[in-house]
Structure 1
């Protein structure tokens, strides 16, 4: 199962996001749930870096299905919109395929 932990501040602003695990929806190379989550996550972080210039630290271990991003400051409006778009996509995957394959947790830090 993919576990997504979204860290927010008391006002709901994004502080970071962490992905861990594999969906195990299908065999490696054919797992559309894992692929969808990976594409959304990587594209969002790349977009924030390139288009928004917001700074973050990122850590990854692809074979373990691990990716973490910690934002260094309050996100710009553009980066915030990209994160909301990411969450919309992740929530859609969760609704379509179920919590057996992806769980999303929101925590205040």
Structure 2
């Protein structure tokens, strides 16, 4: 199961996320859930870095299937909006009967 933890500050702003583990929906190379989550995560990182002036920090550990991403400094509206869109889409996936056993979305105050 892919676990995605979204980090929030005390004001409720999303400040980043960590996605970990493979979904386990199908064999490696054929797992559409894992591919969808990966595409959404990479798209979000690329969108924030390409379309906003937000300072960010990211890391990827392919061997352990972990991607971490954080918004640094003052959080811009646009950067947070991209992260919110990711959170909403993954939460929607989690609610679908076909995918609920393969994606787990959580929120944590930091």
Bin of the TM-score, shorter chain as denominator length: over 0.9
Q: TM-score, normalised by structure 1?
A: 0.93
1:69 match: secondary structure: strand
| Residue 81 of structure 1: how far off its partner (Å) | 1.3
Match of 2:24 in 1: 24
1:64 match: secondary structure: coil
Give runs of aligned pairs for residues 9-48 of structure 1, distance below 5 A: 9-48=9-48
Match of 1:104 in 2: 105
Query: Which shows bigger deviation, 3-12 or 63-72?
Result: 63-72
State the alpha-carbon separation in 2 of the partners of residues 79 and 25 from structure 1. 30
- Indicate the structure with greater helix content: 1
Residues 59 and 69 in structure 2, CA contact (< 8 A), matched pair in contact too: yes
Segments of 4+ in structure 1 off by > 3 A?
none
Match of 2:66 in 1: 66
Match of 2:83 in 1: 83
Give runs of aligned pairs for residues 48-63 of structure 1, distance below 5 A: 48-63=48-63
Equivalent pairs, count = 108
| Residue 74 of structure 1: how far off its partner (Å) | 2.8
- Note the residue ranges of structure 1 that are not aligned, 5 or more in a row: none
